[in-house]
Each structure stands twice: as structure tokens, then as C-alpha cells.
Structure 1
Amino acid sequence: MSVPPVPPNPFAPPGPGGPPAASQPAQAPYPASPGWGGQTQPISQWNQPAPAGQPAYVGQPPPRGGRGLAITAIVLSSLALLGVLGLGGFLVVGMVSGAGMPYALNGSITVVDKGVQGPDLEAELRRIVEDDGGFVDQVECPQRSQVGQGLVTVCHGSVDGYDWTGVVVFEDDDGSFILTEY
């Protein structure tokens, strides 16, 4: 089979790199390149069918697609999706059950000499927790607690049959406080 002639490039500079003279036979514009089997084939043979009874790729198996990377990407994406769904489910269950989450209530107590007596604070905490729907088995607070902005008193006891800790944070000198239950 013959190679079709290459038309001269009208934009090429004249001279040795310019268009071929009309008397020269046309040649392939590219050098011969190795084929799949490592043999050097002229360009004219690249698109030719393989001879009968001979495989299309001589000396090597046909090239395979890179499926390993695609499979790995699918597996890792699936694991990431399962992780996100699991974390979301964990957060939803935790929020619905409220287990282990602190709970805050507001209250106020009468202040005497810049402090409160333990039994008075215990009675107020019992009232606040029971008004919120809990059943207080027992509450124990320190005998006397100072009252002032940011001062803290910790009380312990049992509410609804579970161990209970109440952290009382006084907001001002007048006895307003926030009770955080654990």
C-alpha cells in the first residue's frame, strides 16, 4: 500500500525546512513508532487489521482498563457514607434520649448576710426540680454558701432514683442562680 502524498505547507519558510520540491516523492510526516508488541511499525501500518489467525497485539496481552482505582474509590466512598450516616444516627439518638447532657434551670433564693443556709438552698432546689417534673429523693448542700456574681456551690443527692449533682451558679448578689443538673 502506498503512502498518500503530503501537500506542501504554504506557511513554511523557504529553504531546507520549507516545502518539498515538486520532484521529491512525498514521505510520512512522522518517524516510525513502536507498536504494542515493541516492534517498530511505520505509520502506514497502524490502522491495518491484523493478519488472519494472529492476535491484534503481538507479543503482549491487550491493555487493560484501570478498574482497581475505580473499585477502591467506590469502596472508600461507601465507607465514608456509612460513617457519616452512623455519626448522624448517634447524634440523633443522643439528642432524643438526652443521656449525659447537662440540664439548666433558673431559680432565686433569699440572701441573708451575703449568703444562704444549706437547708434553705436544698428546699429551693427540691422545689425547682419537682416543678420541672422530677422526683427528688434527697438533696444535700453545704451548710452555708456565699452569694455573689459567679460564685458556685455544688449539691449532691438522688433524683428519680439516680445519682444527682446540681451545680448552682449565682448570677448576682440578690440570690438569682442557675442550676445545672448532672
Structure 2
Amino acid sequence: MLTQSMHNRRSICLALTIGIALPIAIALPATRTSAAPGKTATAKLLDAKKQAIGTVKFAETPKGLQATVEVKGLNPGEHAIHVHEFGKCDPPNFLSAGEHFDPSKTTKKPKHEAKTKGKTPAGDLPNIKVKSDGTGTLTAILPGLNLGNGSNSLLKPGGTAVIVHAGANGKSTIPGVDAKTRIACGVVTP
């Protein structure tokens, strides 16, 4: 038989348990939902001989689309890297990828390192710096792009591709090859 003192303690414990556990249980689903990662996509970069030279991983963030690039086996120096308008990578020149991805038509015909009124096409990433061992990494945000629906999506109908160039800023990393030459390509896939 419970005494009044034991009953009071049990009631207090139950109230504390409900008072603490219930808000935590209610808060957990909201925390999990808000912490869930956004959509992701990947482009596997292949050279003209269809050899893997790296990857670009895309992830939606509150600030825009984050691109994380890892490359290997490239000549040291700076390489221009851009998202292009079509999801096709036909070797050897990868012209099937089209021009720079520019859904808002920032420029009439995007050019490497060209700026129009201080803007570059939405798919232009900063140059990637490749070390003497042939590896390089780059992380950048592409504001205004996404992996959802609509014209700003890298997964739009017809797709998009990532192109790596032989050099950047007019300087090639490959002797006798123009810096704008497309040396690797990867179709962006979910």
C-alpha cells in the first residue's frame, strides 16, 4: 500500500518525466526535419580517353548550390571549370556539353573569365588549382542554382555537365594546347 508521501513522490516523478520527455519528443521530429540534408548530385569527370580524373559533388544549402570538386592526374596549374548547358559529354572535345550554363542569360555568349556588368554565368566556378602531384580540390557556392525543378536546376530536362579546361586566364597547363580546350567532362546525375 502506498503511503501519501510515496504517492506524492511518484506523482512528482511522473510530472517531471512528462514535463521533460514530452517537449523533447515533440522537438525531435522538427530537429530531424530541419537538419536533413538537401538534394545532392554528382558529376564523374572523364577525360577524352574516358579515364576517370575526378568528381564534382553538388549539395543544396541555404546559401545556394555547393560544389565540391576533387581531381587527379591533371597537369599542375590553374584550370577553368564550369557547369555547361547540356548533359552530354561526347569525347574527344566535349562540345556536346554546349556553352556555359546561364539560365538567367547574364551574358549573350559566355566567354571564359569574361564578366558582363560584374556578372558571370551562374554555372561558372572559380578556377581549380592543381598541385604538382596532379591533384586539386575546390569548394564553392553557386548561388541561385538548385537540384529541383525549373530552369535553374542542374537536373533540368536535357541535363547539364561539368567541363574542365586545359588552363585558365589564357595560360594553358598543356604545352601547345589552348587554355580553353575542354579536357574533361562529367554529366550531372542525381
TM-score past 0.5 threshold: no
Higher helix share: 1
Q: Which has the higher contact order (CA 8 A, sep 6+)?
A: 2
Which has the larger Rg? 1
Q: TM-score, length-normalised on structure 2?
A: 0.33
Higher strand share: 2
